[in-house]
Structure 1
Amino acid sequence: MRALATVVRMISGLNAIVGNIFSWLSLGIVIICFTVVVQRYVFATSYVWMQDLYIWLNGAMFTAVSGFALMRGDHVRVDIFYRPASVRKKAMVDLIGSVLFLLPFCAVVYSYSMPAVLRAWSYTEGSANVGGMPGLYILKSFIIVFVVLLALQGIAMIARSILVLADREDLLPASQRYETEDNEGTA
Structure 2
Amino acid sequence: MTRAGPISAYLKFCHWLDRAALAYCVAAALFLTGATLAIVILRYGFGTGSIQFQNAADYAFASLLVFAIPVTLARGGHVRVEVISERLSPRYIRIADILAVLVFLIPVFGLMIRAFWPDLSYSWSIREGAVETGGLGGVYIVKTALPLASALMILQGLAMILKPADHRKDVQETL
Bin the TM-score by the shorter chain.
Answer: 0.7 to 0.9
CA distance in 2, matches of 1:84, 1:12: 30
Equivalent residue for 1:19, pick from 16, 19, 22: 22
Equivalent residue for 2:168, pick from 177, 180, 185: 177
- Output the aligned Cα RMSD: 2.1
Give the 3-state SS of the residue equivalent to 1:131 in structure 2. Answer: coil
Matching of residues 81-120 of structure 1 within 5 Å: 81-120=84-123
Identity of aligned residues (%): 24
- Gapped runs of 5+ residues in structure 2? none
Deviations 1:42-94 (A, max 9, x none): 11111111111111101112222322210102222236433443221121011
Matching of residues 127-166 of structure 1 within 5 Å: 127-160=130-163, 163-164=164-165
Contact 1:12 1:68 in 2 (8 A): no
One-letter amino acid of the counterpart of residue 139, structure 1: V
1:36 paired residue number: 39
Specify whether residues 25 and 41 from structure 1 end up closer, same or farther in structure 2 by C-alpha distance, changes over 3 A only: same
Q: What's the CA shift for 1:21?
A: 3.3
One-letter amino acid of the counterpart of residue 72, structure 2: A
Higher relative contact order (CA 8 A, sep 6+): 1
CA distance in 2, matches of 1:184, 1:151: 20
Q: What's the CA shift for 1:105?
A: 0.6
Q: What's the CA shift for 1:5?
A: 4.1
Specify whether residues 16 and 87 from structure 1 end up closer, same or farther in structure 2 by C-alpha distance, changes over 3 A only: farther
| Count of aligned pairs between the two proteins | 172
Give the 3-state SS of the residue equivalent to 2:150 in structure 1. Answer: helix
CA distance in 2, matches of 1:154, 1:128: 35
Deviations 1:163-184 (A, max 9, x none): 54xxxx5xxxxxx4236xxx97
Specify whether residues 17 and 81 from structure 1 end up closer, same or farther in structure 2 by C-alpha distance, changes over 3 A only: farther
One-letter amino acid of the counterpart of residue 154, structure 1: G
CA distance in 2, matches of 1:23, 1:74: 17
CA distance in 2, matches of 1:155, 1:69: 14
Q: Structure 1 length normalisation: TM-score?
A: 0.82
